[in-house]
Amino acid sequence: MDDVDLGGFVVRRARESEADALAGIDTVAAGGDDGRRESIRRWCREGLAVVAQGPSGLLGYCVVEYTFFGHGFVPMLMVSSAARGGGVGRGLLDAAAHACATPKLFTSTNVSNQPMQRLLRRAGWSPVGLLHGLDDGDPELFYLLPVAGTNSVPVT
């Protein structure tokens, strides 16, 4: 993946050496979740994560895996609290869509996560299903983005 300048920040493939820095901006990992820290290390090591980097450092990251019925799936999109609302999440989602190796890309978020739902709708994702039982009292809402020919961020 080449660096993609999105005006104010660059989106590029994460480096394995950046796992600790990403854990520092991840609210779950920074809160002491060792499982999340290990996932971040694995995502970086396996080349599954892309990062947004600005003049002040890393702003966020996004992961695409292919374990969801053979389709691309974004299991994680994290933007540092200081960088939210500045287009970082959208840039990361667009880069993930462009790099997706399947014609469909899925993600999910809790029903309670209204900011993520707004971001997904603005980025062209459509709600496709609801799953109860993952988090008690907070169903998971699944989204789909058909990616064939719709990508806006060049990624190689």
The strand pairing partners of 5, in sequence order, are: 10
Q: What is the CATH number of domain 4-146?
A: 3.40.630.30
Give the HSE-up count for residue 74: Cα atoms under 13 Å, Cβ half-sphere: 32
Q: State how far the Cα of 94 lies from the Cα of 11, in Å rounded to an integer.
A: 10
Q: State how far the Cα of 72 lies from the Cα of 91, in Å rounded to an integer.
A: 17
pTM exceeds 0.85? yes
* pLDDT at res. 153: 40
* pLDDT at res. 23: 96
pLDDT tens digit string along 14-55?
999 999 999 999 999 999 999 999 999 999 999 999 999 999
Q: In the chain, which stretches have pLDDT less than 50?
A: 149-156
* pLDDT at res. 4: 63
